[in-house]
């Protein structure tokens, strides 16, 4: 009798488990349902969107295809994600070879700001190089290509903006990274920047603009008083910290 009663109870419990099971349903890529418990034993399911680290790290960046093509990748990053002019890196390289100083490009295995200026002019856009100071960059309201010199090599990156003492960079090689103002001042080569203006009547898409949602996803453990970052003594450590900053491991937000 006791065995029979236990069997009935087990069947009821097992049946309840089967009845309460949720059948799997298709969801958009990256969307997950997280069950949450409310005060008073209530519960609900919160849908969240999670972006993988690698996608966030290179969000709105054209990654350079070759070790010498940082200039063309930085240029196409601004064309695609700031101006909405959709060309790929191969097209930009071919265009700069055609419009620029081909022999010099081949000799130095890279593109100059003058090559970029001539190429964007052929697209109906206006490009210009400037000399500037850090204080000028702090009021800049559009992205710019800047040359930096670290680890003994020249490299073109996109300056997205500066906020609270942190310089936000879109690097065609390393992805979204950050420097302190002091660090960037050290790397910035000859205080030069290159700005591309849209064609008359064209409105930028502005996808490189800084937004509040991403500003907390930096290496904040080293940010102190008013955004100032403590200096690192080792060049290798500075570069490692920059490459590993600019994005959290995952980026979760509500739908």
70 is catalytic: yes
Pick among 1.10.760.10, 3.90.70.10, 3.40.1390.30, 1.10.10.10: CATH of 59-197: 3.90.70.10
- Confidence at residue 164, expressed as pLDDT on a 0 to 100 scale: 85
pLDDT score for 94: 95
**What global pTM score does this model have?**
0.72
Task: Tell me what the pLDDT averaged over the chain comes to.
Answer: 78
Token reading at 16: 């309840």
> What pLDDT sits at residue 56?
81
Q: Pick the catalytic residue from 56, 61, 62, 70.
A: 70
Say what the pLDDT of residue 224 is.
40
Question: Which segments in the chain show pLDDT lower than 70?
Answer: 1-25, 151, 213-255
Domain boundaries in the chain? Answer: 59-197
Give the model's pLDDT for residue 49. Answer: 75
């Amino acid at each position: 009798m006791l065995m029979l009663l236990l069997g009935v109870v087990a069947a009821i419990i097992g049946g309840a488990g089967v009845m309460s099971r949720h059948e799997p349903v298709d969801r958009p890529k990256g969307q997950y349902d997280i069950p949450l418990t409310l005060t008073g034993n209530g519960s609900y399911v919160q849908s969240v969107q999670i972006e993988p680290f690698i996608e966030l790290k290179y969000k709105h960046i054209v990654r350079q295809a070759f070790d010498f093509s940082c200039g063309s990748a930085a240029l196409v990053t601004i064309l695609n994600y700031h101006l909405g002019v959709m060309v790929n890196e191969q097209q930009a390289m071919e265009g700069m070879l055609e419009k620029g100083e081909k022999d010099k490009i081949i000799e130095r295995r890279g593109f100059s700001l003058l090559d970029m200026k001539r190429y964007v002019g052929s697209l109906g856009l206006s490009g210009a190089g400037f000399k500037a100071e850090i204080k000028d960059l702090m009021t800049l309201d559009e992205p710019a290509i800047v040359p930096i010199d670290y680890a003994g090599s020249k490299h073109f990156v996109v300056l997205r903006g500066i906020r609270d003492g942190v310089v936000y960079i879109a690097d065609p090689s390393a992805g979204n990274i950050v420097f302190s103002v002091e660090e960037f001042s050290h790397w910035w080569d000859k205080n030069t920047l290159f700005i591309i203006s849209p064609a008359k009547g064209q409105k930028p898409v502005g996808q490189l603009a800084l937004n509040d949602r991403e500003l907390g996803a930096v290496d904040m453990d080293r940010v102190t008083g008013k955004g100032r970052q403590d200096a690192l003594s080792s060049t290798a450590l500075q570069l490692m910290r920059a490459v590993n900053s600019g994005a959290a491991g995952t980026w979760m937000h509500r739908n």
